[in-house]
Amino acid sequence: MRLRIDDDLRRSRLLVFFRPLLSLPHLAWLWAWSWAAAAAAVAGWVAVVVTGSQPHPLHRFLCAYVRYASQLVAFAALVANPFPGFTGAPGYPVEVTTPERLLQRRGSAAFRALLAVPALLLAHALLGVLTVIAVLAWFATLATGRMPSGLRDLGATVVRYLAQTAAYALLVSDRYPHASPALPRHPVPRPLFDPWETAR
């Protein structure tokens, strides 16, 4: 998963001032969507353990969920400016690119809940960092109308890691979350045989 940033750092002071209030409908929607995503993740886990890949509909649904959650986090923490949509559609200024549906290692998938614990703990700690970023950015952008580039970039790094962790935990990807500021380039694996293709 990679992060795409198309943000000019300008912020609307009015939108910034009411940012906590504007985030409330999205937080309620994310809470509801999370229940559906949890059920989809369980079904996807069974599919990956048995066949090595998720069905297309489950993968698309979980990818949209990860994109939406990252867009909401970016908006709430002032990492991005526009009010996001409610569907996780691509095109947000600060956005993660979700991976294609590929064959995954069944052994890794079987123990994914356990393997994801260290990444989830780090993600929880980084949420605290993002909260500090959001508070500092709130005051800075109200004063200047611009998001400090250092805070934006650090916040975007946290958003990327949170998205990677969610994708790994939900079996959207089998690549373990990477916390470095810059991700290395990796070759994209290609499935040799996809049982879901033959079933379509």
Cβ-contact 37, 88 below 8 angstroms: no
**Domain segments of the chain as ranges:** 2-177
**Which residue's entry shows tokens 């198309």?**
6
Kind plus residue range of the DSSP H or E element containing 42? helix 19-51
pLDDT in tens, 114-149: 999 999 999 999 999 999 999 999 999 999 999 999
Cβ-contact 70, 78 below 8 angstroms: no
Residues 6+ apart with CB under 8 A from 26: 72, 75, 76, 84, 86
pLDDT in tens, 30-78: 999 999 999 999 999 999 999 989 999 999 999 999 999 999 999 999 9
Entry pTM: 0.85
**Alpha carbon distance 100, 94 (integer Å):** 19
